[in-house]
Amino acid sequence: MAGRNAIVLACAAEAPSVALVQRLLALGVPADVSGADGKRPADHAAEAGRWALVRALDPAYPLPGNVGADEPFETDARTPFVLLRDSMRDGRFDGLDRVLRLLTPVDLGRLLHDADTPPSLERVEWLLAHGADPEFRNDAGDTPLTAALATAPEALPVLQTLLHHGASPAGAGGLARYLVACVERDQAARVFERMALDLLARGADPFAPSPEGDPPLSLAVRLGWPRLIERLVTIGVDLDARDSRGMTALHLAAALGREAALKTLVRHGASASARAADGQTPLGVALSAGRRDLADWLDWRGWAPPRRALEDADLPAAAVAGDADAVRRLLELGLPIDTADSQGCTALLRAAGGGHLAVVDLLLTRGADTARAAQSGATPLSAAVSMRHGAVVERLLAAGADLDQRLPGEVSVLMLAAALGLPDLAARLLTAGADIHATDAQGLTPLHCAALYGFTSRDRPRLLALFDTLLLAGAEVDAPAAGGVTPLLLLLGARAEPGTACDEDVVLAAMEHLLDEGVSLDAQDPRGFGPLHLTGLHGQLRLARRLLRAGADPDLRDTLNRTPREIAVMRGFVDVAAEFAPAQAGDGVSMARFLRER
């Protein structure tokens, strides 16, 4: 039977009368009617803690264990919530099933907030096991978990239990509240750091400060928790946020001597120039504390760290600046020693090319790879040779740099030194074991490269020293490159544009060395040009005369059946042409030479 009869109305009164209910029952009014919610009057009376009414309505109704069956009807108003709370305060957890049936998860969640008793792990576990809502908020807006954060670390087991049952630590300032409690109780053990990390992983706020104004990062530095500090900076908290004393986390790390924290902050871009409320920088704080070891991490005088987290490519950048101290710090902060910049250049290559011997020495001592090439193919050794840094070349060779490592085109470092006209470096490379007979992709040897340099050289002593060095090392004077080109032909301009001027005194001196070695004068390039053809092509009068005296053939013909004289006439060097045949009318000063030398 469903509906609202007289008993239902009597029980719903603000102050229901047990005597009235008994009289209605005596008159035969039924008490077993159910409302729209399916509950009987006795059920509603039990939920309201009106046990006298319950006994009157249904003598067989199972009463809670802490409600005496012989209690007078006047004893009333102890709701199921109050009964359960009192039982739990007394430490009694048995025989509460009848009360539990009358309570909702929200009701049980309210009991997680019992402010009159300290958090009890047994009570919390029992309530959660019986369905308490872990997200119920008290009048202050706190969940049981956020309220317990302020009582850490004593409440650590309670926190762990709440998290295990799905309670969320989300909400502004939760992490800071937990850290403040740990700081105030001087509890910096790693078990409490693990809890902080767990809170973060489950959604705790890493940004909001404590009510006193201390950011979580500053509190983590105070506690000396390296993993939490690393996690916070990785998340992206403000590294330069001030605490309640006007200090940044870097100030605190310097003041408290937290070296690991200080390094982490520097690595992630904390400002070493930020000033505290008293005007001091972190460097000043470290020096005031007598911590010169920490000051070293804050005093960047050469290469200045960027105002961001350090990146691997910062190591080559510091090497470019030649700042050995910066390179050392970056390595100690964990930057990979062989990392490359956008052009593929490692720190060792940059330092070698810049001639920064101290940086090169540091990197080699720390195990830098001497063979790591850039995108261009350049190596540390080739960079040092290219930039003429002899001391750096010596250090690289001492470290075992590979002399046979080739550059693009199969060029060796000895060929590079020869092509640049560097006799001292060529000699050092040869002493270290460079191959004098090595060839590149075009078949050129180091002597070919020296000859190419020689045609454009204006430095006679330097060129002669280079030729002497290579010839004494056993260079073959008639070694043919692609197309049969020999060093002599290259020295005479076989690769140069027609009419290119050279310093004949310089070239002649180098050619004398080749003549002394018995160089062949019959060589021809792919065009069929022999030595005399080339003197006619470029108007080299003195070279032509010397070659003729040495026995060069003036009748040698190229692939188009032209003699050296015809080449000289074609190019307008009539004075050179006259050397190849008896004088004729009209021979004289070359107009081409006159115009080139004006």
Q: What is the per-residue pLDDT for 67?
A: 63
Mean pLDDT of the chain: 88
* Residue 417, CA distances (Å) to 65, 383, 452 in order: 101, 11, 12
Residue 577 has φ and ψ, to the nearest 5°, of -60, -35
* pLDDT score at 595: 54
H or E segment at 267? helix 259-267
Structural domains in the chain (count): 1
pLDDT attached to residue 1:
43
> What is the DSSP track for 402-430?
-TT--BGGGB-HHHHHHHTT-HHHHHHHH
Position 203 in a domain: no
pLDDT of residue 65: 56
C-alpha–C-alpha distance, residues 529 and 509, integer Å: 22
pLDDT at position 48 is: 65
Hey, what are 371's tokens? 């063979």
The residues of the chain scoring below 50 in pLDDT are: 1, 73-75, 583, 585-587
Contact (CB, 8 A) for 382 and 413: yes
pLDDT value at residue 265:
95
Q: Contact at 8 Å (CB) between 219 and 257?
A: no
Q: What is the structure's pLDDT at 575?
A: 93
Let me know if residue 91 belongs to a domain: yes
pLDDT at 156: 87
Whether residue 239 is contained in a domain is answered as: no
396 burial level (CB within 10 Å; 0-12, 13-18, 19+): buried
1: in domain:
yes
Buried b (16+ CB within 10 A) or exposed e, 154-163: ebbebbebbb
On whether the CB atoms of residues 54 and 61 are closer than 8 A, the answer is: yes
The C-alpha angle 28, 32, 36, rounded to 5 degrees, equals 130
305 DSSP 8-state letter: P
Around Cβ 259, how many Cβ atoms within 10 Å? Answer: 14
In a domain, 427, yes or no: no
In a domain, 202, yes or no: no
- Output the six-digit token pair for 369: 């790879």
Q: Look at residue 73 in the predicted model and tell me its pLDDT.
A: 44
Structure tokens at 269: 């871009």
pLDDT of residue 26: 72
Please state the three-class secondary structure of 287-323 as a single string.
Answer: HHCCCHHHHCCCCCCCCCCCCCCCCCCHHHHHHHCCC
State the pTM of this model: 0.75
| Residues of the domain holding 96 | 1-103
* Residues 320, 354 contacting (CB under 8 angstroms): yes
What is the radius of gyration, based on Cα positions, of the chain?
A: 47
CA distance 169 to 315: 40
* Cβ-contact 4, 29 below 8 angstroms: no
Q: Residue 75: what pLDDT?
A: 43
- To the nearest 5 percent, what fractions of the chain are helix, strand and coil? 50, 0, 50
Give residue 139's pLDDT.
80
Tell me the C-alpha distance between 215 and 252, whole Å: 12
State residue 585's pLDDT score: 46
Q: What are phi and psi of 312, to 5 degrees?
A: -55, -40
Q: Is residue 95 part of a domain?
A: yes
In a domain, 22, yes or no: yes
